[in-house]
Every structure is written in structure tokens, then in C-alpha cells.
Copies of this chain bind each other. A is one copy, B any other.
């Protein structure tokens, strides 16, 4: 299996509506990109200080399938239109599991 993990912090002026739009649009991707075998997204639970604000963990059968997701136009549209405008910082890792 191949896993993609990404986290974001949001800008201070990001609205709840904008954050909800990210979750809504990302949650639609498994129906559009069949290479997504598992897709777990969500906001930080608020337990620990200094955390990032939002996490995405996506599982694929292979690295090639991850690349299909990474470069898929529907995914790119969500990133460009809904994530990039409110993302302050981003941290990502892809790894074989």
C-alpha cells in the first residue's frame, strides 16, 4: 500500500465556511477518483497545543495510483480554489506502508 499524508494550518482570517468547503469538496473525491482506496480527512481535535489545523490521510494500492490522485483535475481544482486561498502552512509525506 502507498500512503499520502498532508496537513495544513489555516490563515487567521479563514472563515468556518471556507474550512467547511474544504472538507465538503475533499469528501467528494473518492467518488471521482477510484484510485482512492481509503480517504480520512478532518480537523484537529484540539487536544494538543501547536498542532496543525487539518489532516488528510489517503491510501492507494501503489505509488502510481497516488500520482493519478495528485494530478487529477478535480483534485487540483479543490486545491487551487478552496485550499490554497486559506492555507498558511503545509506539511506532507508519501510513504510505502
Q: Which residues of A contact B (CB under 8 A)?
A: 2-3, 5, 7, 40, 42-45, 47-48, 50-55, 57, 63, 66-67, 70, 91-97
Identical chains bound together, number: 2
The answer to whether B63 touches A93, judged by C-beta atoms less than 8 angstroms apart, is no
Residue in contact with A94 in the complex, picked from B5, B48, B63, CB distance below 8 Å: B48
Task: Give the residue of B7, B63, B96 whose beta carbon is less than 8 angstroms from that of A42.
Answer: B96
Assembled-state Cα–Cα distance A67/B50 (Å) = 16
A54 touching B93, Cβ below 8 Å: yes
* A69 shortest CB reach to chain B, Å: 12
A7 to B52, CA, bound (A): 11
Bound complex: CA A96 to CA B93 (Å): 20
